[in-house]
Chains A and B, each alone.
Chain A
């Protein structure tokens, strides 16, 4: 017995090391490929990467930027991972983020007289609810009408984006502002800074708590168990007596709730109001984060710091070397691409996790 246990442990750690090795190789190769792209514009890639690295780790401000960028990525990424685990693809991070941000801002600027802690809790709940509704709609439509959630969440991103744009131009617009933006959040409600002189805020601590909660939720609760069963085999889920209709909605709603919270955090800690471009493509980077973190809560934490560092460093690299910051979009995509290609037949992790064949079956039930 003990031998088997030991063997299993060894096997597990070997798989982990194998994984880490693959990811490290993927990152190195992705950086080399990005370097070639940088060469195209006649800049020394080593100089550019030095600037990128220096931009993050050369100052407290840089580290703060990394944490500030990582926080929303971490939150949205956790949500995305839950959908992936449940066999669904939530590309609606941006839309859910915006709905959360809108509702949180309305709750923060229009309700007065509540004690600050209660008001804050209310705001977080409202934001989570907003994201949950926006994600839950896609889940409901999938469960009820068999709509493709990939296309639906993308459409709902655009719908949310234009509603957002309308709201900040008319009903929620701050009449004293020049640009279309909402009234600012009252100072007592703003999320305090973690490091003074940077944009890092204590929202990241909140996000860290959520990492542990997601880990427990996925691995130690009934909900997490059901999510995994549906993700691996919806048919088995039906036979096991799991209400897949309800679970599909719930999975997408929970997934969206995280993006909604991210929207709230971004407004209350970084921008202090609604303004154009606050979602800034976090939805897609969060997909990268979730996949890079192997859909594991702790892995996602590390991945979010990595992508956060890339994004933060890219800005300072753009300023000092002129290399466009969009290069890190290429880097992110190449990392994931290499991991996808590199999956040997032994660990077809992602394929097994959300193989389409099994998902289709449940829709016929």
Chain B
């Protein structure tokens, strides 16, 4: 035991927290997207599939072009395209959002597994791409401890911080945000005020898919530098839980995502320093934490009133 505690020095904590930030990014991006979708009245259970799409396309395009940025952008776009398909089924065709989401998750898993197999065949050696380099922000990265954690990261991490701030402004400080929220709370009234409900929902779902795709691409090309079947491992569903825990608010979602990032980073580090607990129990941590968080938030969580309900214009 002595041996283990001696490893828990400052350097350990710094790398641990830095790793937590990194692992929090994909679920946070997906959760931010989901906030847009749910604020507009669409519960996007398809989040997992959109992340998976982003992860796969992001990886493949990076692998072919050798350009991380192009790969990431195309990956995010792929997430958005799947989201728009989901939107079409739910918003225009008025299908049940949960059933449509599950169906498209199965579709995303099928398509990504199928094409991965076609492109790379059955190999034991997984294909790899280089991941993003860290960019040190001058001066700021000189701050002790904090500099290492916050200002020595890759571009996507900085972008994520930017997106949080922007999302919060868009949702709560702009006319667009007001329309978005009104559509999610009382679509009939919003329509009476001249807001195009379906259009707003399409935009929100599109933003959601873009961010989920970006989060997925960050998993494959930003963290792992590779892809495997079902690489997202339920992270889309964890992001859904984060949205509830974060009360549909970007900053609160950030806090929640960091807890999950921490759980995942902790799980990896506990294995590394060799604590005598079977590794499976470490791997359980994020999922168990999600379950506990759902129980804690359950009664207190008040979702946008119209979320999950297809909207149909009254026929005249």
Contacts and interface: CB of A to CB of B under 8 A. Distances in A.
Nearest to B122: A324
Interface stretch (B13-21, B177-185, B202-210, B295-303): B295-303
A351 B95 contact: yes
A91 interface: yes
A322 to B, nearest CB: 9
Given A159-B288, A165-B280, A357 B309 contact: yes
B99 A291 contact: yes
A305 to B, nearest CB: 19
A37 B114 contact: yes
Contacts of B109: 284, 326, 329
14 contacts: A40-B115, A141-B295, A141-B298, A148-B294, A162-B283, A162-B284, A166-B280, A284-B106, A326-B117, A327-B114, A337-B104, A343-B94, A350-B99, A356-B308
B134 interface: no
Interface in B269-316: 278, 280-281, 283-284, 287-288, 290-291, 294-295, 298-299, 301, 307-310
Contact of B114 (A170, A284, A288, A324): A324
B237 A154 contact: yes
B288 to A, nearest CB: 6
A356 B95 contact: no
A348 B94 contact: yes
Interface in B103-139: 103-107, 109-111, 113-115, 117-118
Given A40-B118, A343-B95, A356-B308, A151 B280 contact: no
A333 interface: yes
B187 to A, nearest CB: 12
Contact of A329 (B96, B102, B106): B106
A166 B241 contact: no
Interface in B43-57: 43, 45
Given A147-B295, A337-B89, A155 B96 contact: no
B100 interface: yes
Given A151-B290, A324-B114, A357-B309, A351 B94 contact: yes
B114 A326 contact: yes
Contacts of B308: 356-357, 360
Given A337-B104, A340-B95, A162 B280 contact: yes
A333 B107 contact: yes
B220 interface: no
Contacts of A288: 103, 106
B152 interface: no
Interface residues of B, number: 49
Interface of B: 43, 45, 89, 93-100, 102-107, 109-111, 113-115, 117-118, 233-234, 237, 240-241, 244, 278, 280-281, 283-284, 287-288, 290-291, 294-295, 298-299, 301, 307-310
A340 B93 contact: yes
Chain A interface residue bracket vs B: 35 or more
Interface of A: 37, 40-41, 89, 91, 141, 145-148, 150-152, 154-159, 162-163, 165-166, 169-170, 284, 287-288, 291, 324, 326-334, 336-337, 340-341, 343, 348, 350-351, 354-357, 360
Nearest to A357: B309
Nearest to A137: B291
Contact of B234 (A89, A154, A334, A343): A154
Given A148-B244, A337-B104, 4 more contacts: A40-B115, A151-B294, A327-B114, A330-B110
A337 B107 contact: yes
Nearest to B298: A145
B133 to A, nearest CB: 32
Contacts of A145: 294-295, 298-299
B117 A330 contact: no
Nearest to B233: A158
A351 B310 contact: yes
A152 B281 CA distance: 18
B47 to A, nearest CB: 10
A166 B93 contact: no
Nearest to A356: B308
Contacts of A154: 234, 237
A324 B95 contact: no
Contacts of A360: 308
Contact of A350 (B96, B107, B118): B96
A357 B97 CA distance: 12
B113 A155 contact: no
A147 B109 CA distance: 26
Contact of A150 (B94, B98, B290, B298): B98
Contacts of B287: 155, 158-159, 162
